[in-house]
Amino acid sequence: MLSLGRTDHDSFPTAAGELPVLGHLPVLYRDAIGLLRRSRSALGPLFWVNLGFAQRRLFYVGADALDLLRAPEVVMDHPEHIKGIVGRSMAAQDGPLHRHMRSAINPSFSPQGFAKEAAAAIASAIAAKIDAWLQQESFAVHPAMRDLTLDIILRICGVPTGDIRAWSRAYRELFLGVYPIPGRLPGMPAYRSDRARAWIDDRLRKLLALARGGGAAGSLVEMLSNARDDEGEPLSDQGIVDNLRAIVLAGHETSASILAWIVIVLSRRSEVWSALCDEHAAAPDAPVPMSAREADRLPVANAIFREVLRMYTPVWFIFRTVTETITLSGRRIPRNTPLALSPAQFGYDPSLFPDPDRFDLSRWRDRSIPPGPLELAAFGGGPHFCLGYNVACVEALQLQFILVRALRRAGLVPHLEGASPKHVYFPTGHPTAATRVAFRRC
């Protein structure tokens, strides 16, 4: 087998715009998908991207890229600066350890295992936040959604609501570790991330001890403390802590972006808001959806969720490493090659979505078949398909349902203040933090 030597490195082109030290980080921050689309057009489906500070990855944006998530020769590979965040959670594992964790945790996130109490807690949190937004002249959308989704996931985990502000600060600090800036001196991103991880893990262990002592009934922590894999083996305490840390981070960061873009779309596209209002008016006494399976009775809300997810995919890159030489688009990829794939690229593939830069609900409304693997690429694929898919769907449906109900009762409409927001891509996709929405009289 081959190792990735200099000749192998030079046989693939590098995306345009690489800077000394920072690499492609500046352009990735403001236009990651644009860079990938331009590079594919100019260079083909294989090219190097420098994520900053010499963190180079060979991006593959071919039509069969999603198949690599099922290939045994392509395994999970987080850079060192990200391993400090995900630890030894199933997000960082392949093989037997991943199967052990996944089979133990899966039931808690399945439609059957996602307890009605959890869906009710989500609806309660959303309703409380909307009531608070109604009292404000305007609110910053993405920060508000971060607070909301963190509130939701911590409630599900059994964290007292009075502690949420401290958890929010800790997770903001933890996420600094995503940036590939070398050094761990006090005040540097990696140092602050490590310190936040220690704070989070200490509190997760206390929650786990409470659950093992009979407390935290009905919480996700209690479910995981009692979880067993397919062989009847329990998760280790450290395994539970690592997975909870990753679940809370991923569960609120990505959902916050999706919900923020939903509100932004409703605020800047009157025809979309009108369609959602019409759907609600047709069944004004319908109950709040409590399951992702209820998407069929809310085709407009479901289409908005799907189209936002297509155009504004939060997780735009996935890291992998090649363990055996493989062939992609007729090119040999040597073992140990650090790969990167982009789930977001499929949303802009004109063969899948004609005129992909256009927001179009008709892509999803009145469909007779559920979304396929490529259409669900935003949630990954293969054995690492996102556990939180059903939760994200429930959050999106409930937010729209409760929001349109509240605003119609008050005679208000959402209004985007200022210019249309930009999509910031690094480290995960989200609208600019300064984007604000106000509720105004019809």
- Cα 227 from chain centroid? 24
Residues 317 and 32 sit within 8 Å (Cβ to Cβ): yes
Does the pLDDT at position 8 exceed 90?
no
User: pLDDT tens digits for 108-166?
Assistant: 888 776 656 789 999 999 999 999 999 999 999 999 999 999 999 999 998 887 888 89
Report the alpha-carbon distance of residue 154 to residue 277 in Å, rounded: 31
Q: What confidence tier does 6 reach under pLDDT thresholds 50, 70, 90?
A: very low
Confidence grade of residue 237 (pLDDT, cut at 50, 70, 90):
very high
Residues 6+ positions from 143 with CB-CB distance below 8 Å: 433
Q: What region, left, alpha or beta, does residue 60 occupy, with left being phi > 0 and alpha being psi -120 to 50 degrees?
A: beta
Taking the domains of the chain in order of start, what are their residue ranges?
6-441
**pLDDT tens digits for range 187-214:** 999 999 999 999 999 999 999 999 999 8
pLDDT at 2: 31
The mean predicted confidence, pLDDT, of the chain is 92
Which single residue is written with the structure tokens 């605020």? 267
Query: Which pLDDT does position 114 carry in this prediction?
Result: 63
- Out of 106-110, 359-363, 400-404, least confident range: 106-110
In which residue are the tokens 């964290």 written? Answer: 159
Whether the Cβ atoms of residue 159 and residue 216 lie closer than 8 Å to each other: no
What residues pair up with 328 in beta bridges, in sequence order? 331
Query: What are residue 91's phi and psi, to 5 degrees?
Result: -65, -15
Query: Which pair of structure tokens corresponds to residue 342?
Result: 């982009």
CATH superfamily of 6-441: Cytochrome P450 (1.10.630.10)
Please write the tens of the pLDDT for every residue from 299-317: 999 999 999 999 999 999 9
Residue 369 has pLDDT above 80, yes or no: yes
Average pLDDT (72-100) is 90
User: Is 174 in contact with 196 (CB distance < 8 Å)?
Assistant: yes
Residues 6+ apart with CB under 8 A from 440: 412, 413, 415
